[in-house]
Amino acid sequence: MFIGHFAPAFAAAALGERSPKLDTLFIAAQLVDWGFFSLALIGVEKMRVEPGATAMVPFDLYHMPYTHSLAGCAAWAIGFALIVTLWQRNASGGLIAGAVVMSHWVLDWLTHAPDLTLAGSPPAYGLGLWDWPLIAMPLEIGITLAAFFFYLGRTRGPVGQPLILLAALLALQGFNWFAPHPAEAGAFLYLQALVAFGVLTALAWWVGENRQRIRRGGLAARSA
């Protein structure tokens, strides 16, 4: 799953005044992938291109105990929750950010072939929807659009910036699905992913700076 990971970020950003800003939640949504591709660059976690690994994605994610095990993801979630709590002096916001980090494992469980562990060792888990494109593709687009429009409905401000962010998300997802896959995994692929996450986070910051949450009664509230 790629842009579907940002669905919890949109939803969480619209929950209330204590929610972190959208850019913080975009980081939370893909934090374990930030970690994975960074660790892959230095050879700590590993993947390889294996045609036919799944119908949609030819990647064998065969060693990622520190980011994509349930325990590893929980550690990233707790760490990020503490950072947000201390940085923003907002314990509720920290809990929300941590929950968004944890959502990554759940959403990956839906789409991945069995490569997600509980603590880095077998057994591995994954429902494998990447082998069922007619289910996986509408699911990913559907949850992203639902969360995006939920966010728009709970905030006020210009619609141009959010639409640009949505267009960027859909364009990158289209590239992910339909562009030729690399022949091998390596630094270029890992850096490409990190740059994509960075661009989307920058756009999310731009959106968050120009939209306000709607309080009960219809008033707009500045993001904390």
6 dihedral zone (left: phi>0; alpha: psi -120 to 50; beta): alpha
Residue 64 dihedral angles phi and psi, to the nearest 5°: -145, 55
Report whether 59 contacts 190 (CB < 8 A). Answer: no
Domain span holding position 184: 3-221
Q: Could you list the mean pLDDT of each consecutive 10-residue stretch along the chain, which spans 224 residues?
A: 95 92 97 98 97 94 97 98 96 97 98 96 96 97 98 95 98 94 94 97 96 68 51
| C-alpha atoms less than 13 angstroms from C-alpha of 46 in its C-beta half-sphere | 7
- Of all helices (H) and strands (E), which one includes residue 112? none
Instruction: Say what the pLDDT of residue 17 is.
Output: 84
The amino acid present at 94, given as its one-letter code, is: G
The amino acid present at 23, given as its one-letter code, is: D
Cα–Cα distance measured from residue 149 to residue 146, given in angstroms and rounded to the nearest whole number: 5
Structure tokens at 78: 């707790």
Report how far apart, in Å, the C-alpha atoms of 187 and of each of 48, 53, 192 are: 12, 21, 8
Number of C-beta neighbours around residue 205 at 10 A: 16
Buried b (16+ CB within 10 A) or exposed e, 4-21: bbbbbbbbbbbbbeebbb
Instruction: Say what the pLDDT of residue 213 is.
Output: 83
Cα–Cα distance measured from residue 92 to residue 19, given in angstroms and rounded to the nearest whole number: 7
Report whether 62 contacts 114 (CB < 8 A). Answer: no
Q: Is the pTM of this model over 0.75?
A: yes
Percent helix / strand / coil, the chain, rounded to 5: 60, 10, 30
Q: How many domains does the chain have?
A: 1
